[in-house]
Amino acid sequence: MIGNSFGRFFRITACGESYGIGKGSGLAVILDSIPPGLKITDADIQKEMDKRRPGKGKLNSPRKEPDQCHIFAGIGQDGVTTGAPLGIMVHNVDTQEVHINQYKSYKDLIRPGHAEYTYFVKYGENADWCGAGRASGRETVGRVAGGAVAKFILAKEGIELMAFTKECMGIKAKEMSFDEAKKNYMKNEINCPDLEASEEMIKKVMEIKNEGDTAGGVIELRIKGVPAGLGEPVFDKLQATLSHALMSIGAIKGIEFGAGFKVANMKGSECNDHPYLEGKKVSFKTNNAGGILGGISNGDEIVIKLAVKPTPTVSVKQPSINMKEMKEEILSPITRRDPTLLGRIYAVAEAMAACAILDALYMYRGYDNVCRIDNPWRQKSNPK
């Protein structure tokens, strides 16, 4: 299996399965290009881990995983980073035999919406069938741990990331500024800053849960404080690397930047973000571009919307195929699942976006230092 690393300068490499073998199983992440001298602790990373951990309420999986993280490499005797790769480990705890047996009872059947078929095609009969292995949402533990470190570094640069539920099953939150949304960030189980809409969303999800089904929705991601100049103009546009990061999350099926698909119904004069001078700094009257022009950040807030599919595991009977016997069957799996992914996946989106932005910042600063371009507009775009 390849493709378990992301990034070029700030690089994360993750491993681990949903269940694994034996008492010591778990998930881990190795991070390259960590600056020396950072006073980062398990507790700093745990704040982000707690956002995505299961077993917290009625809107997520009842699996009881504390997701306690531990930095096992890259910290010196003085308690600060040494510049060596940083290693973080999270052990699986709630891997009971009863749940393993549930997966085993239908391990040869395709679960609609899951990766069983493609894993059979790619890895044959040795593919991990227990809890979907690397195809499980639990794989995102390593991403969030790595993203927590990226966010820690970005915070020192004045860059802040926040994701929240924008829409669920047709129920939409009202438009809000970054600061307005931040006031109600993580104030409810579905993490919707529009408190009135959140109540309707939760009610709708519970109705669907009682039917044995699951619900999808939209996550909005905001990134504030990104300096102008990040990203490369051709194949490595900032929206391309952000898309790579975010679309690598298993449940994400669509992405929009700024006005997104609405631009298809706009005139050019309506779509264009008109510039104006704010003192000696260039600003924009609108943000249809979502903070990125020509593949390069323009200093405005980066705004992204992500379409999140419903959790594929449902209790509703669905057609399936027994891959071992190559015959059609009906599947009604009994296992733990989230009635919606919205209340946890926002943490994964923040993490992957943080990794992409930090990687772009490394490249930008490196290019800048080598080229030593005398550029007066850069200072005006990114005032200290």
> For the chain, what is the mean pLDDT?
91
- Separation CA 347–CA 328 (nearest Å): 38
- Residue 102 sits in which domain range? 5-381
Spatial contact of 171 and 376, defined as CB atoms under 8 Å apart: no
Whole-number pLDDT of residue 51: 94
Whole-number pLDDT of residue 334: 66
CATH of the domain at 294: 3.60.150.10
Determine the average pLDDT of the residues in 279-302.
95
Determine the average pLDDT of the residues in 308-318.
91
Q: Is 280 exposed, middle or buried (0-12, 13-18, 19+ CB in 10 A)?
A: exposed
Is pLDDT of 288 > 60? yes
Determine the average pLDDT of the residues in 134-163.
95
Tens digit of each residue's pLDDT (9 = 90 or more) over 176-219: 999 999 999 999 999 999 999 999 999 999 999 999 999 999 99
| Closest to 35 measured CA to CA, from 156, 160, 159 | 156
Instruction: Give the number of domains in the chain.
Output: 1
The sign of the CA dihedral 19, 25, 31, 34 is positive
Q: 3-class DSSP state for residue 236?
A: coil
- Separation CA 16–CA 268 (nearest Å): 48
Query: Which stretch of DSSP H or E encloses residue 280?
Result: none
Is pLDDT of 353 > 80? yes
Phi, psi of 48 (to 5 degrees): -75, -40
Is pLDDT of 384 > 60? no
Tens digit of each residue's pLDDT (9 = 90 or more) over 83-130: 999 999 999 887 777 777 877 877 888 888 888 889 888 888 888 877
Question: pTM of the full predicted structure?
Answer: 0.93
Whole-number pLDDT of residue 201: 98
**Tokens matching residue 293:** 């022009």
Phi, psi of 298 (to 5 degrees): -105, 10
Range scoring the smallest mean pLDDT among 31-35, 113-117, 157-161, 193-197: 113-117
Residue with tokens 């298993």: 250
Spatial contact of 311 and 212, defined as CB atoms under 8 Å apart: no
Confidence of residue 297 (pLDDT cuts 50, 70, 90): very high
